Structure 1
């Protein structure tokens, strides 16, 4: 390195992690962290963190797997197969309240500690659909019948004058599965988060509505783990938050745009240059994109609780956001920056 280079310790480690001679040494000291997520916006910062060395800079070795549905995700996190899930915060609420669809062998001690997005949800339909009203009498796909995004869809339909008894909900699985079903026209419409909505739109699907305009603030994807794991691995969890936060900061930096798009197109085969540009614009939008501060939107969480209180079969009113949060970890993680 020349004297003109003035790298911070963390930056130096990140560069070192990308160099063959140092990667092995860092890997020996790296703590493994096993991540699980759905297809969606949260994965781009993970790929960036892996490729640009932000996890290595925090002495983490991060692996990522995609889950097929929320039931499998909950079972795998509870069993310890994965340490951290990037999932709708409603899944945390559901399992803490004993309303999750997977039958776990014990009480779920799930807790959210970091926010990723507001759901970035759009109602997408097969070609030829003109309006939400056209969905009456049609089949609509959801992940599972009692998950938060299904409640978002029910609320959006209700506000558009369509009752739950006027459509048929079909449990298909996560966003990737619902996108495939929509493209095959197995159901008429579904909710998709970004960038899956843009992929569907590029293939001819119709955008009927964006959910933030219909339901208001909403906390969507969040980082979650078991409370027991966070207690025993707090330093690892804080290192993960710092690495993810650094990856998002790099992603939204205009100087990183071309390289970020290259990483996206490498990981999501078949993404055209034009579609990649649209995805980048959507996910880096300062208000509607990935959260830059990694904070959980408390008002958005209140909406999650309202929807679950209204539509879950248990009929129980949920009103305490703190019950589902580790509100201290994010501040602890980023305080040293």
Structure 2
């Protein structure tokens, strides 16, 4: 049994296929022991991946684009994972976008991928970056707690945190899909040197992940998939059911590990518009599909 050390930023429904693969022994069947580590910070995650602390990380696509283009990083995208679906959840007194002027908004990191999407959503609703303050808080769980405690006025939350907040009376002003519907959000990334030395582990892990996504999308597994999320996140059944129905409706997870190339081009477009990168971007240096292609057979 080969071990792969993976890194996620926080526990959330976006890790559903990982939970499934572990609980249903799908990774084990593929000869892989998956170690899951929570970093609570996108920057910490990427820094540690470049140092070799972790083998593979689940991150926002633009994080890898930025590292490759701006820092000549050895990291590359090896698999498409998910469409981003983050709702802007605000305190009960914030009912429309203009109410956010002069307010504090929680983000993972000020230059993180989903802060970028939040900035784009706000700009599309005539709220400029000079009119609010980003507060760096880390992963979705920490931002949820800060919002509930009144430490911030709003934040992007994914399932199940956004659903829980709405049930508590917080407002939903819309999602990133309202302004950018076609976008490659979450991806899996590795260092090229590690991948070359560990091709079998890479291919077998991706194969297990793809099988876990297939299992999730099988309608016969709905009830058990919901139970998997409840067990891993400690959710009420109502919240887990709402999360499942949303993920199915919007086809959140990339099937077969395929990268949404037009969505990745949109990532580059948004990053350029907001000044995150300069000049032309050669996407062939950003992603390598050979491992996911082999995993699909």
Counterpart of 1:35 in structure 2 is 6
Counterpart of 2:291 in structure 1 is 329
Counterpart of 2:269 in structure 1 is 306
Counterpart of 1:194 in structure 2 is 159
- Count of residue correspondences: 296
Counterpart of 2:73 in structure 1 is 108
Aligned partners of 1:161, 1:288: CA distance in 2, in Å? Answer: 29
Is 1:293 matched up with 2:256? yes
State the SS of the aligned residue for 1:97. Answer: helix
Counterpart of 1:96 in structure 2 is 68
Q: What is the CA-CA distance between 1:201 and the residue it aligns to?
A: 2.2
Is 1:283 matched up with 2:247? yes
Counterpart of 2:26 in structure 1 is 54
Aligned partners of 1:202, 1:85: CA distance in 2, in Å? Answer: 32
Counterpart of 1:175 in structure 2 is 140
Q: What is the CA-CA distance between 1:292 and the residue it aligns to?
A: 2.3
State the SS of the aligned residue for 2:93. Answer: coil
Q: What is the CA-CA distance between 1:177 and the residue it aligns to?
A: 1.6
Counterpart of 2:47 in structure 1 is 75
Counterpart of 2:178 in structure 1 is 213
Unaligned 5+ segments in structure 2 are none
Match of 2:94 among 113, 129, 136: 129
Distance 1:294 1:200, change over 3 A: farther
Unaligned 5+ segments in structure 1 are 1-29, 100-106
State the SS of the aligned residue for 1:150. Answer: helix
State the SS of the aligned residue for 1:108. Answer: coil
Aligned partners of 1:291, 1:203: CA distance in 2, in Å? Answer: 31
Between the two structures, name the one with larger relative contact order (CA 8 Å, sep ≥ 6): 2
Counterpart of 1:103 in structure 2 is none
Q: What is the CA-CA distance between 1:328 and the residue it aligns to?
A: 2.1
Aligned partners of 1:320, 1:160: CA distance in 2, in Å? Answer: 31
User: What is the TM-score of this pair, normalised by structure 1?
Assistant: 0.83
Q: What is the CA-CA distance between 1:239 and the residue it aligns to?
A: 0.6
Q: What is the CA-CA distance between 1:303 and the residue it aligns to?
A: 1.6
State the SS of the aligned residue for 1:194. Answer: coil
Aligned partners of 1:237, 1:117: CA distance in 2, in Å? Answer: 19
Counterpart of 1:317 in structure 2 is 279
Q: What is the CA-CA distance between 1:321 and the residue it aligns to?
A: 2.3
State the SS of the aligned residue for 1:127. Answer: coil
Match of 1:66 among 15, 38, 62: 38
State the SS of the aligned residue for 1:182. Answer: helix
CA contact under 8 A between 1:54 and 1:243: conserved in structure 2? yes
Question: Alpha carbon RMSD of aligned pairs, Å?
Answer: 1.6
Q: What is the CA-CA distance between 1:60 and the residue it aligns to?
A: 0.5
Counterpart of 1:149 in structure 2 is 114
Matches within 5 A, 1:250-265: 250-265=215-230
Match of 2:82 among 110, 117, 142: 117
CA contact under 8 A between 2:84 and 2:252: conserved in structure 1? no
Aligned partners of 2:259, 2:112: CA distance in 1, in Å? Answer: 19
Matches within 5 A, 1:1-16: none
Is 1:274 matched up with 2:238? yes
1:205-250 C-alpha deviation (Å, 9 max, x unpaired): 2110111121231111101111111111111111111101111111
Structure with higher Rg: it is: 1
1:233-284 C-alpha deviation (Å, 9 max, x unpaired): 1111111111011111111212112222222111112x11111110111223
CA contact under 8 A between 2:7 and 2:37: conserved in structure 1? yes
